[in-house]
Structure 1
């Protein structure tokens, strides 16, 4: 697909299209955070990820070539060789403080949904240049979960994330 073509992807009204706002380190836990931002508003969703998954995302954000295929490159290559295409990824659920995602593939006219960690789904979405969606319930539940945490004020955290400037996002800003 050329870079000038536009992918149209079916999605439900409950899915909010997001883009990667940036990748940063949590100053308290020293864990990587992928910050997703609603393309139509200032709403953001931080997702804490593992260091290896953050590296996979960072490599693709920077378009860094590696001498051998990394895991997500291998998955992309396998899907292509099986004539499958990733159409979209959806952060679909927040349960017990854990995010869940679904990778939607098309293969031979069939649609296949695969359970995934959001970090893996995002890394694949970057490699396929496909949209990232978040279920509206996940956005609402993440607000409620954050507000239930006594050590964090959810509104303050969201305001901080929404108002990050490019310098604070570091080298992975979008």
Structure 2
């Protein structure tokens, strides 16, 4: 569609604690093929859902976004895309476009929910150049290595300060801790431990 040719595609880069709002998190969206990052303040529940997907952790019971995706798939409905179309008074507004092959429907959504669902379906995420200009910040892209490693290094920089003491644990101890956290349904902490395990394995 010609009117959408100038839209900017985004991908989920990582999560960090929000410096703006206590008890909230900053979801970092990255410009695909570019240096800009957009921080979106989201709640703890949505951050937990996104973190689980980022770390490929399967909870014992499906979460709300998992149920929504299963429901849509059961009825042959596909999420075509997420579009962050407005930023006003510090709030991002998004819409999700669904199709069943015959009808296409666009509905309004909270950005955090839309992205949590997009991550589970592989649907693309877009925004406007205006929103990118207004809310984005430029992240220096390291020259060493290829671009495929850049997301990992950036995630590491955002998560490195979270649990410094856990870094000293052996991988076996961390894996036991991860299992206990999942059993207790403490998914937010489990995602952090999983991230540390992934980084420690990469260093071996």
- Smaller-chain TM-score bracket: 0.7 to 0.9
Give the C-alpha shift of residue 27 in structure 1: 4.0
1:132 aligned residue = 125
Structure 1 gap ranges (5+): 1-8, 144-157
Quickly say closer, same or farther: Cα 1:19–1:10, change in 2 above 3 A: farther
1:152 aligned residue = none
Quickly say closer, same or farther: Cα 1:141–1:165, change in 2 above 3 A: closer
Quickly say closer, same or farther: Cα 1:48–1:81, change in 2 above 3 A: same
- The correspondence for 2:4, drawn from 3, 9, 12, is 12
Counterparts of 2:86 and 2:10, CA distance in 1: 15
Query: 8 Å contact 1:93–1:137 — kept in the other structure?
Result: no
2:110 aligned residue = 117
SS at match of 2:34: coil
Give the alignment of 1:1-174 within 5 angstroms. Answer: 12-27=4-19, 29-30=21-22, 31-142=24-135, 158-159=137-138, 162-163=139-140, 165-170=154-159, 171=192
Larger radius of gyration, structure 1 or 2? 2
* Larger relative helix fraction: 2
SS at match of 1:56: helix
Counterparts of 2:101 and 2:154, CA distance in 1: 44
SS at match of 2:4: coil
Give the C-alpha shift of residue 10 in structure 1: 9.4
Counterparts of 2:11 and 2:96, CA distance in 1: 16
Quickly say closer, same or farther: Cα 1:33–1:10, change in 2 above 3 A: farther
Give the C-alpha shift of residue 140 in structure 1: 2.9
Give the C-alpha shift of residue 141 in structure 1: 3.4
Count of matched residue pairs: 149
* Larger relative strand fraction: 1
User: What is the TM-score when the length of structure 1 is the normalising length?
Assistant: 0.76
Structure 2 gap ranges (5+): 141-152, 160-191, 199-204
User: What is the TM-score when the length of structure 2 is the normalising length?
Assistant: 0.66
